[in-house]
Amino acid sequence: MTWWEAVLIVLAGVGASTINTIVGSGTLITFPTLLMLGVPPVTANMSNTVGLVAGGITGIAGYRRELVGSRRDLLRLAPMTLVGSVIGALLLLVLDPAAFRAIVPVLILLGVVLVLAGPRISAAVASHHPDDQPTWKMRLMQVGVLLAGIYGGYFGAAQGVLLMGIMSLLSPLPIQRLNGYKNVLGTVANAVAAIVFIVVAGDRIDWRVAALIAVGALIGGAIGSTVGRRLSPGLLRAIIAVIGLVAVVKVLLG
């Protein structure tokens, strides 16, 4: 590996973690970068997952104010992400990537629609079912987070868009608080998937690549939380939608 390749990987880690903290889809920066540098696809995916965990930690730290009082919700949602990401990581090791990629654009588009329309749909449903909505909405959210965890453990790109869409639809909380939830859940998914990869296929991880991405990700998580927390709800939703659409185009173009 040359010095300029190392610098490029670090910069990709910065960019990916910045976007992950604000929205998600940072993998769409690091993964193509690694492929361009000749890293095999599965090795690139696993090394990237391991490296980006560091950015999740600094991103969570940056959103600590929004996470005050969130312990009860996260104790209900984080285990679902944990289980889902284990399933997804194992699927990556045994399934043909093409088998799952066909549905990836559909899932991302669904996330975009839910981010934009979720609050209105949620308000309309709540007005018709004001008494029982907190209980069943949390149960549905747990199922949605489980499915998003499977997706995140398998592929990862735009998992944040899916999570924000699901939570926007099913939670009345402000979008910045939900973004804090998203950062916690996304980091759990990345960390669990990384552990699975290390235990099951550690010899296929490029540790130099993972370390370089981690260095950039630590910086990017701090940048992303600083920028993301200052965005208005409307602008944040618009950015999520745009990045989600860009993710769809990139996935479709391969």
Cα–Cα distance measured from residue 96 to residue 133, given in angstroms and rounded to the nearest whole number: 39
- What confidence tens digit (pLDDT) does each residue in 220-245 have? 999 999 988 888 877 877 877 777 77
- The whole-number average pLDDT for the span 104-122 is 68
- The whole-number average pLDDT for the span 56-84 is 92
Q: What whole-number percentage of the chain has pLDDT above 70?
A: 86
pLDDT of res. 114: 67
The model's pTM is 0.82
Is residue 231 classed as helix, strand or coil in its secondary structure?
coil
Residue of 114 and 239 predicted with greater confidence: 239
pLDDT of res. 231: 82
- The whole-number average pLDDT for the span 198-215 is 92
Is residue 63 classed as helix, strand or coil in its secondary structure?
coil
Dihedral angle, C-alpha 235, 220, 225, 243, nearest 10 °: 20
pLDDT of res. 121: 61
Question: Would you state the structure tokens that stand for residue 114, as one six-digit string?
Answer: 């839910």
- What confidence tens digit (pLDDT) does each residue in 154-173 have? 776 677 888 888 888 888 88
**How many separate helices (H) and strands (E) can be counted in the chain?**
11, 0
Label residue 75 exposed, middle or buried (CB < 10 Å: 0-12, 13-18, 19+). Answer: exposed
